[in-house]
Chains A and B, each alone.
Chain A
């Protein structure tokens, strides 16, 4: 069964303190791994897509990487506005449906 596990569940950082969020996955034939950001009262906002092991994507202070078993979201010198819940999701090869399997998310709080 396809499964996604994120760790830690919650992370508190001081402004400027870099860290990484982990997303471990089990999927039959990975077609894509996606990172989203979700602010309170809002829908998930798409950040990155990674398709194959070794791929990396960057956007401002965020960098996503992918291996055959996990993905990391690295946050460099975070700011308070980076506080949000970060969600990881995978698309597997079973049927061309676009179905996303989500992890439970990591809630990040960045203190000034």
Chain B
């Protein structure tokens, strides 16, 4: 049973396109996150939702828009993709604070 699952696993697309990544967690957690891992393996938070409410919005271009239809799902839509958006995007979830986050296996986005 996958705890945090993301789709798709790989995403190869051209500059200027719009794409979405979906995430679902079956852990019953109340908080979900999007993290970006760059080519140097550095993980940085982008967004966080707690019970469908946006609570973290780091300095991320407006082209990135998260949406949480319910507390088990968090999607990420990216408009007008740019070369610099190439990275691995991880979804994570946690329950309570403080506490660890549990991560999905990532979506590898490559912009041609």
Contacts and interface: CB of A to CB of B under 8 A. Distances in A.
Interface of A: 31-32, 34, 36, 38, 41-46, 49, 51, 85, 87, 89, 91, 95-100, 102, 104-105
Q: How large is the interface on B (under 10, 10 to 19, 20 to 34, 35 or more residues)?
A: 20 to 34
Contacts of A32: 98-100
Chain B interface mostly: strand
Interface in B2-44: 4, 31, 33, 35, 40-44
6 contacts: A36-B103, A87-B43, A91-B97, A97-B50, A97-B55, A104-B40
Contact of A102 (B43, B50, B104): B43
B94 interface: yes
Contacts of B99: 32, 49, 98
A99 B56 contact: yes
